[in-house]
Amino acid sequence: MTCTLPETPEFTDYSTPRSIFSAPLSEYELGISEALVQELFLKHVFQKGSGSLYGLARTLCLPVELVENVFHRMKTRQMVEIKGMSGDDYNFVLTHAGKAEVQDRLQISRYSGPVPVPLALYQQAVREQVFKTRVNRAKLKEAYGDLTLDPSMLNRLGPALSSCKSMFLYGPSGTGKSSLAERLLRVFNEPIAIPHAIEVDGNIITVFDPAVHAPVADPPPDRDPRWMYCSRPCIIVGGELVASMLEAHREGDTGSYTAPLHMKANNGVFVIDDFGRQLIAPRDLLNRWIVPLDRRIDYLTIASGQKFEIPFEVFVVFSTNLNPSELADEAFLRRIPNKILVDAVANPVFDEIVLRRLEAQHWAAEPGAADYLRELCKNRGGDLRPCYPRDMFRIIDSICTFEERTPSLNIADIDRAAELYFCATWLLW
């Protein structure tokens, strides 16, 4: 699995209602039980051996005023005792009663992360952060400016992205399907709020994942600390995808749960690369998602058997070099309205790719070498695929590195690279 972490946006444009994410003024506004907040408070102090109000505010992701309220209640119940002061902050430890309380709770759940948000608030937040970007030709040209595309490709991508509906990219390998999918976040780049964790009937499911979610540089100062402001996520999975990745996973050592991949990708992009080559059978995956793609909701189940609803606001991209009709039936394909063929390119597009690569790598080119490369790729490869210049340039660079000379594009090295890159004719049956 790979995740695309886009560059931090230089702007701050929070399009969702601030009231959802404003810092809570009372424990009631947290939306979860007082007992759970107190439990997490005690667990943090227990694990660190001692605590302070400001330190717990950071680790619990709560305003310090609410942490102080919990502290005074714990002190009244003789769960904590003060050991000193650091400026205007208390230093305290657990009493014997506090330690006994924590150890009982640890038998049930060892989760001691940030205070979660309630499921209902998460559902509301996801639905209010759906894609709002207006997609036009100028936006697409900017997003895909580092790729050389036929204008007809933008004509097909534009309406598909404007609809924000799932997309099927299909065509021969090496035609740039993955590159098209990976750059979607350049189109949809507004910051969104993602909770550290959510609470479902006393169970905690972690959502924020630093490997997936890239925090923005300048979050609003009055936000609820339980939410992280991040760029929209992009998760890319290939052959490693298995059915368990699409379900809430119970962590055996903590008793809490980890959100499935598509939940982490909510309000973002989920690319299934090389679709049809996963460990999970294509039809099993399609059956798993036929309802979410149609109704924009999914249902997860936890160990107790409880089933709950989450939004499925994910831009799903299926990318494959197999025939879509052999992977999915008509009922499923109907739920993916955008099916885009990404085929081999014409001579002018291929030549432009070669030229841009020469400029990027500062290579000299022997007269006629670019034309020779194009015709060789067409004859040996059967057509012109955008991956050929990249792959051939890499092999030529390796040849020159091995021979300790400056790389350039010349006919002799092109022939040597082709010997390594293309299969011998007698092997093609």
Distance CA 71, CA 132 (A): 42
Distance CA 264, CA 270 (A): 9
Cβ contacts of residue 375 below 8 Å, gap of 6+?
A: none
CATH entry, 33-112, from 3.20.20.140, 3.90.1150.150, 3.40.50.970, 1.10.10.10: 1.10.10.10
How many residues are given for the chain? 429
List the chain pLDDT tens, one digit each, 429 residues: 665 554 444 434 444 444 689 999 888 999 999 999 999 999 999 999 999 999 999 999 999 999 999 999 999 999 999 999 988 899 999 999 999 999 988 888 889 999 999 999 999 999 999 987 788 888 899 999 999 998 889 999 999 888 888 899 999 999 999 899 888 888 887 889 999 999 999 899 999 999 999 999 888 888 899 999 999 999 999 888 999 999 999 887 788 899 999 999 999 999 999 888 888 888 888 888 888 988 999 999 988 888 999 999 999 999 999 888 888 888 888 888 899 999 999 999 999 999 999 999 999 999 999 999 999 999 999 999 999 999 999 999 999 999 999 999 999 999 999 999 998 655 444
- pLDDT score, position 425: 55
SS3 of residue 250 by DSSP: strand
- pLDDT score, position 336: 86
- pLDDT score, position 119: 96
Domains 120-130+161-341 and 347-427 share a fold: no
CATH 3.20.20.70 fits 347-427, yes or no: no
Q: Which element (helix H / strand E) includes 102?
A: helix 96-106
Give 197's strand partners.
206
Take residue 385 and report the two structure tokens written for it: 């695929």
CATH entry, 120-130+161-341, from 2.20.25.10, 3.10.105.10, 3.40.50.300, 3.40.50.970: 3.40.50.300
Give 118's strand partners.
199
- pLDDT score, position 220: 85
Domain ranges of the chain: 33-112, 120-130+161-341, 347-427
Cβ contacts of residue 234 below 8 Å, gap of 6+?
A: 3, 4, 6, 182, 184, 185, 265, 268, 269, 270, 271
Residue-wise burial string across 359-395, b where 16 or more C-beta atoms lie within 10 A, e elsewhere: eeeebeeeeebbebbbebbbeebeebbbbbbeebbeb
